[in-house]
Amino acid sequence: MIVMGVSGSGKSTTGRALAAALGWPFFDADDFHPPENVAKMSAGQPLTDADRRPWLEALRKLIATHSAENQPLVLACSALKKTYRDQLRRGNAGVCFVYLRGEYDLIAGRMQERTGHYMPAGLLDSQFAALEEPTHALVVDVDRPVKELVRQIMYSLDTST
C-alpha cells in the first residue's frame, strides 16, 4: 500500500499509523533519496523526472522484494505523477494507492510549522504543479485527525475485500 500526496499532506504520519494498525512494516520513500536529491531539495530546487527515476526504481524493488516474500508493506511516497505510480506498480500487481488530498492553504500551513525536514515550504508550488491526481486510488481528505484517516482507510480495506 502506497500512501501518496504532496509534501506536507501527512504521508509519513498517516502511513506510520496505518502500518501500526495493520501490523505491517512502514517505509518512508524520503529515506531512499540519494544524497544529491536531498541536497537539491534542501537548496529549494525541485527534482526533475531524471532525478526521481533511480529513486523510484529503488522503491519499486523494495515493493517487489516484499511482494515476492508475500509480505505487505506501507510506503509513504509522493508518487505525484501517473508515470511515477506506473513505475512503482510495474511488476507489482498488488499495489494500491491511498491519496491524501488536501487544500493548498492547509498543507502550506502544515509545512510552515514543520521542523527537521529537508523539503522547504517553498517547493510546495512545484509539488502541486506536478501532481496528477490519481484516478485509481482511495482518496482521503486530510482535513481530519490522523486516527480518523486511518479508520477510513481500514474501513475501505475491509469493504473492498
Where in the chain are the domains?
2-160
159 by Cβ neighbours in 10 Å (0-12 / 13-18 / 19+) ranks as exposed
pLDDT for 124 equals 77
pTM of structure? 0.89
Mention the CATH class of domain 2-160.
alpha beta
Per-residue confidence in pLDDT tens, the chain, 161 aa: 999 999 889 999 999 999 999 999 999 999 999 999 988 877 878 888 999 999 999 999 999 999 999 999 999 999 999 999 999 999 988 899 999 999 988 888 876 665 554 455 457 788 888 899 999 999 999 999 999 999 999 999 876 54
* 75: Cβ contacts below 8 Å, ≥ 6 apart: 1, 2, 3, 15, 26, 27, 28, 29, 59, 62, 63
- List of E strands, 33-103: 74-76, 97-101
pLDDT for 41 equals 79
pLDDT for 12 equals 93
CA 84 to chain centroid? 11
pLDDT for 150 equals 97
pLDDT for 85 equals 97
d(CA 106, CA 103): 5
Interstrand relation of 74-76 and 2-4 (parallel, antiparallel or unpaired): parallel
d(CA 123, CA 111): 10
